[in-house]
Amino acid sequence: MLSILIAVVIGVGIAIAMIVDQQHIAWSIVSGVAGYVVVQIIISLVLRKKINAVQAEIQAEMNADRERINRQLMTFQQRQPGNMNGLKQLADRLQSEVSKKLLTATERFKVFYPWSPMLYKQINAMKMQLYFQTRDYAEVDKLLPKSMLIDPLSLSIKLVRMYKNEDRELDSFYKKKCSRFKSDQGAFIACVYAWIKLKQQDVQSAVSALRSARKLSDHPVLVENLDKLLNDKKKDFSNAGFGEQWYALGLEEFKPKAVRKRNNGPMY
């Protein structure tokens, strides 16, 4: 916003100065517009450079945290092999710590908000996702209206929160914002929505969403789920094939299959 204001002031100033100097009005206006554009470009370039520098710092910290988490998880597995519950609890705790650290790191972008209102909504979307990971759903609900929802994860989180809050606008939101995605992204969002509609006992809407998504994607999970619903096997509907992307939404918990030990008979 400040960049636009400064550019406008300079552009108008140039035009007025040229008119006062008895220059042709049309040429004065063209010069004013040119001045506005040049100032906007310069400010945008400087702003982008500073924002990229902050992003690079945060990315470096994230990479370091990721390596640290991987080392700790590997150490845990070596010391307690087979303790899957303990491993999951450790992973959740470490991820929560990193998410909280990243939430603090996003405050570094505040100084740029007056210059870029779009950035404010982008950072809010990031913060919203981080609060969702830490299961602070009150903060998630506060940030959702102030966030830029353009990626599958943000839109899926919005669908989940609308479902949990029993929001009557859920169907219209999906049709307006989510149904346009293609390929794997569209398949994932459609399957999330279909899962919700099945929980709401609305099989017809689930089938309709999957059919529409099927025209734009041949993702195996989408194809399989649509086939199950068309064959009256809604109990077999599963989004487990999406892996961590699905379980990150918190609608279902990952349940590792128990490994049966083979009995090779008595040892002599």
Residue 236 domain flag:
yes
The C-alpha R_g of the chain, in whole angstroms, comes to 26
- Expressed as residue numbers, the domain containing 29 is 1-59
Residue 204 domain flag:
yes
Q: What is the pLDDT of residue 181?
A: 82
C-beta contacts of 222-231 below 8 A and 24+ residues apart: 222/187, 222/190, 222/191, 225/191, 225/194, 229/194, 229/203
Selection from 201, 195, 209, 203 nearest residue 229 by Cα: 203
Q: What is the pLDDT of residue 259?
A: 43
Residues 159 and 245 in one domain: yes
Q: What is the pLDDT of residue 78?
A: 84
Number of domains in the chain: 3
Q: What is the pLDDT of residue 74?
A: 86
Residue 263 domain flag:
no
Residues 248 and 160 in one domain: yes
Residues 161 and 240 in one domain: yes
Q: What is the pLDDT of residue 97?
A: 84
In angstroms, the Cα distances linking 192 to 153, 209, 213 are 11, 10, 12
Residues 181 and 115 in one domain: no
Q: What is the pLDDT of residue 2?
A: 45
Residue 71 domain flag:
no
Residue 12 domain flag:
yes
Residues 247 and 192 in one domain: yes
Residues 198 and 249 in one domain: yes
Residues 178 and 220 in one domain: yes
pLDDT tens by residue, the chain, 268 residues: 444 444 334 434 444 444 444 444 554 454 445 544 555 566 567 777 887 888 788 788 878 878 888 888 888 888 888 787 887 788 888 888 888 888 888 888 888 888 777 888 989 998 999 899 888 999 999 999 999 998 889 999 999 999 999 999 999 999 998 878 888 889 999 999 999 999 999 999 999 999 999 999 999 999 999 999 999 999 999 999 999 889 989 898 876 554 444 455 454 4
Residue ending a domain, choose from 42, 59, 76 = 59
Residues 163 and 126 in one domain: no
Residue 246 contacts residue 252 (beta carbons within 8 Å): yes
Residue 67 domain flag:
no
Q: What is the pLDDT of residue 184?
A: 87
Residues 191 and 242 in one domain: yes
pLDDT tens per residue across span 90-131: 888 888 888 888 888 888 888 888 877 788 898 999 899 989
Residues 140 and 168 in one domain: no
Distance CA 117, CA 103 (A): 19
Q: What is the pLDDT of residue 187?
A: 93
Residues 133 and 175 in one domain: no
3-state secondary structure 91-123: HHHHHHHHHHHHHHHHHHHHHHCCCCHHHHHHH
Q: What is the pLDDT of residue 95?
A: 80
Residue 64 domain flag:
no
Residues 119 and 161 in one domain: no
Residue 262 domain flag:
no
Residue at token pair 């940030």: 143
Residue ending a domain, choose from 148, 173, 198 = 148
